[in-house]
Structure 1
Amino acid sequence: MQNENLNVVDEIAVRLNPDVLKWLREISGYSIEEVAEKLKIEVEKLELIEEGKLGPTFTLIRDLSKIYKVPVAAFFLPKPREIPMPKDYRFIPGRESKFDKETLLVFRKVRGLQKVAKELIENLGYTIEPHIERVSLKDKPEKIAEKYREEFGLTEELQAEFKDASAMFKYLRQKIEELNIFVFQYGMPVKDARGFTLTDDFPIIITVNSKDLYKPRIFTLMHEFGHVLLGESVVDIPNIAIPTTNIVERWCNEFAASFLLPKDVAIKVFGENRSSLTSKRTLGRLSGRYKVSKHMLLYTMFKLNYISLKEYEEFKKRFKPSSYRGSGGPPPEVRIMSELGDKYLKLVVQNYKNNLISYSAALETIPSVKTRTFNKLLEQVG
């Protein structure tokens, strides 16, 4: 009898704001035709529902919540909520301000985490502002890069000592998080976005694409840090090998390149290897030593007049970018630590252990975490 009553409830038309229905579809990146096909209903019927001329059933709302990856409660909001988007600096012809569904989901997720992090920081009475000085486009990126390289303690020797690019990424992530800036890693189509920054609210967040290789990921991290120093919320596809006319992107590219391979280091190394500078073996060895891509090495050679523009363009074609191939999925607690970083997770644990939030509230601060995984995180992060 109880199941029959539940079925009746599921089929009763629900009253809600039709503007919210349309808004949830749009922020999830779906066309009305795509959703109708997934629901196996006619487009005209879904149009009537979004226009408020036909009430949706609770079953339909539950199906839509799975498609849009939002909680059922979101459909009962009184009106759409603005989700501020970062400026689009990707410059993809025909796709300006249009993003893949996976990328849109990451935007929403990170905005939610930013709000949660702010509350957790305020609970503990900590400052939410970053420990940085703003810069402008008038500042020379090479000088700013030199300053932060020194502040991060990144010497040429240390750079060579890192076991691999993954180890160097973790080191730089930690140094940036020590400046009260959160660094997240989430998977998005690499051709859609490599990273983005949120500086329009506190705490400031950098998000790097976890589907990218680690050497480009390092470059993206420092490129996005450049945007943070400039005080910009942007989404982009940092790539030193692709010329850009945008002065902001150019500044951030130069900042990242100068940070990872300073001019004095480059001149010394290129001079030592002049006879075989562009050989596959030399480029591979230098790429491994400094944890930078071959494209960035070639760009720096061209910039410092070690090779001509023609040679630079020819050599670039030899090294096509590879895609990231993970060997199976890591354990859930390892994945979450990689996604959210040490700083965010310590914040959650501190709030919980100081009795500022309940166990269930702590679970809600971490997307899609299960009890067993959360308990392991408590042990490791604690």
Structure 2
Amino acid sequence: MPKVNPSILRWARETAGFSIEDAADKIGLGAARGLAGSERLAMLEAGEAEPSRPLLLKMASQYRRPLLTFYLAERPVMAARGEDFRTLPEEFAQRDAALVDTLLREVRARQEMVRALLEAEDEAQVLSFVGSFDQDLGAEALATNIVETLGFDLEHFRHGSGRGSTKGFSYLRERVEAAGVFVLLIGNLGSHHSALNVELFRGFALADPVAPFVVINDQDSEQAWSFTLLHELAHIWLGESGVSGGRPTIAIETFCNDIAGRILLPANDIAGEQPLIGATQGRVMARIAAIADARQVSHSMVAYKLYREGIIDQHMWSAVTALYRELWLRNRAAQRDRARESDGGPNYYIVRRHRLGNRLLALSRRMLAEGALSPSKAAAILGVKPNNVYSLTDSAA
């Protein structure tokens, strides 16, 4: 029987973002024979003792690695995740970065399974828009190309399905998925304890020509989802896989933000806006609210657009954006408190369906019915337990 590679035990812990003390606590390795749990774990990582199988199973779960990983002779090559378009605040620790790495790794594995499934069933079609555009052609040309490819109607987005940000997002997502892109909402790794801050990760794109994926951090406000989706679509049109954060400080992120802004709030919509340089914050926020409410977009997006058009300055943009974020966090905390006080909660399958999107659910349901997909593999693609697969896909019908 092969032995566990102790160097991989340490590597798996470190790449999961755990200190040795935290890891010992997570895997339930307590004090024994006069040694603290962290000391016992250090001995395992040094090869001075062999972990039991139950302990290895706990490590696999907490470190989010397949059990087989611990028996490999060499550390596995880290899967390419594309470009990192973020400039992270200094306060984010290795643990936070490791959570994003884990999410990227899991979603990429699911995307590769979807692509392999499409190829095996002769349903793989190369999407011509993936990687079709060059940044040098300009933001206006790319925004126009995306709108035309999606058949996106701005008035329908704003008013066609009823007022409300989620109505507009549902319409946009429908158009994006109809074009061939899988759109998922993911904001944690399975529990609220692993929630991913939007400053750390707002969205990412996997620019595959057959099975492109966009993931949106649903910890962000619902009003911001449409902007993020269009931002990530711009990356797909440019053929760039990568992860985006909350602070656009590099040229490509500003470019993709401009694409989303041009689509959701065209320049002619604010062409008559008077300059607000030197205006009070209250006056600026009142004007932002009027524009946002009328056009079904987020206040933060309007603030960004006004800044890019020179209507407000960078200082004001930064100030109101920080305030909107604070207000959103307070509102979300209040919503959670109300949810805990109320009886029951949203149906698991309805919530999960919304996060997965109709395209992924429809593909899984059809392939299950045709026998091309087993329940266990469908569970891996959908990110659920095998015993939930049929109830989940049936609820999507």
Bucket of the pairwise TM-score, normalised by the shorter protein: 0.7 to 0.9
Q: 1:26 aligns with which of 5, 14, 33?
A: 14
Aligned to 2:393: 378
Normalised TM-score (structure 1): 0.82
Aligned to 1:148: 146
Distance in 1 of aligned mates of 2:137 and 2:93: 29
- In the alignment, is the contact (CA less than 8 A) between 2:163 and 2:296 conserved in 1? no
Q: Which residue of 2 aligns with 1:8?
A: none
Name the counterpart of 1:267: 271
Deviations 1:233-255 (A, max 9, x none): 2212245xxx62x1111111111
Runs of at least 5 residues in structure 1 that lack an aligned partner in the other structure: 1-12
RMSD of the TM alignment (CA)? Answer: 3.2
The alpha-carbon distance between structure 1 residues 14 and 332, as it changes in their structure 2 partners (threshold 3 A), is farther
C-alpha distance in structure 2 between counterparts of 1:342 and 1:115, whole Å: 18
Kept in 1: contact 2:151–2:175 (CA 8 A) = no
1:13-39 CA-partner distances (Å, limit 9, x unpaired): 982222332332233222333213442
Q: What secondary structure is seen at the aligned counterpart in 1 of 2:271? A: helix
Contact 1:90-1:96 within 8 A present in 2 as well: no
Corresponding residue of 1:230: 238
SS of structure 2 residue aligned to 1:92: coil
In the comparison of the two structures, how many residue pairs are matched? 362
Report the Cα distance in structure 2 between the residues aligned to 1:308 and 1:179, rounded to whole angstroms. Answer: 37
Choose which of 55, 61, 71 in structure 2 pairs with 1:60: 55
Q: Quick one: structure 1 residues 231 and 95, their matched pair in 2 at CA, closer, same or farther if it must change by over 3 Å?
A: farther
Q: Give the drift of 1:157.
A: 2.3
Q: Is the 8 A contact 2:204 2:241 kept in 1?
A: yes
**8 Å contact 2:86–2:244 — kept in the other structure?**
yes
For structure 2, the 5+ residue unaligned runs are 31-35, 188-195, 275-279
Structure 2 counterpart of 1:288: 293
Amino acid at match of 2:382: I
Counterpart CA distance in 1 for 2:153 and 2:383 is: 37
Matched position secondary structure for 1:176:
helix
SS of match in other structure, 2:136: coil
Q: 1:107 aligns with which of 104, 107, 124?
A: 104
Say whether the 8 Å CA contact 2:200–2:246 is kept in structure 1. Answer: no
Change (3 A) 1:126 1:315: same
In structure 2, the residue matched to 1:7 is: none
- Pairing partner for 1:358 from 364, 371, 374: 374
2:350 to 323, 334, 342: 334
Displacement of 1:189 after TM fit? 2.1
Question: Partners in 2 of 1:29 and 1:71 — Cα distance?
Answer: 17
Cα shift at 1:300: 2.6
Please say if residues 205 and 215 of structure 2, whose CA atoms lie closer than 8 Å, have aligned partners that are also in contact: yes
Please tell me the residue identity of whatever aligns with 2:51. P
Work out whether 1:88 is the aligned partner of 2:103: no
1:113 CA displacement: 0.8
For residues 313 and 189 of structure 1, the distance between their equivalents in structure 2, rounded to whole angstroms, comes to 18
Give, in whole Å, the separation in 2 of the partners of 1:106 and 1:309. Answer: 33
Pick one of 229, 251, 256 that aligns with 1:252.
Answer: 256
* Distance in 2, Cα, partners of 1:309 & 1:67: 42
Aligned to 1:10: none
CA distance in 2, matches of 1:264, 1:138: 23
8 Å contact from structure 1 (residues 301, 307) kept in 2: yes
Q: 1:196 to 1:338 in 2, by over 3 A?
A: same
CA shift in 2, pair 1:349/1:195, >3 Å: same
What percent of counterpart residues are identical?
25
Shift of 1:305: 4.2
Q: TM-score, normalised by structure 2?
A: 0.79
Question: Which residue in 1 is equivalent to 2:221?
Answer: 213
Shift in CA distance, 283/115, structure 1 to aligned 2, threshold 3 Å: same
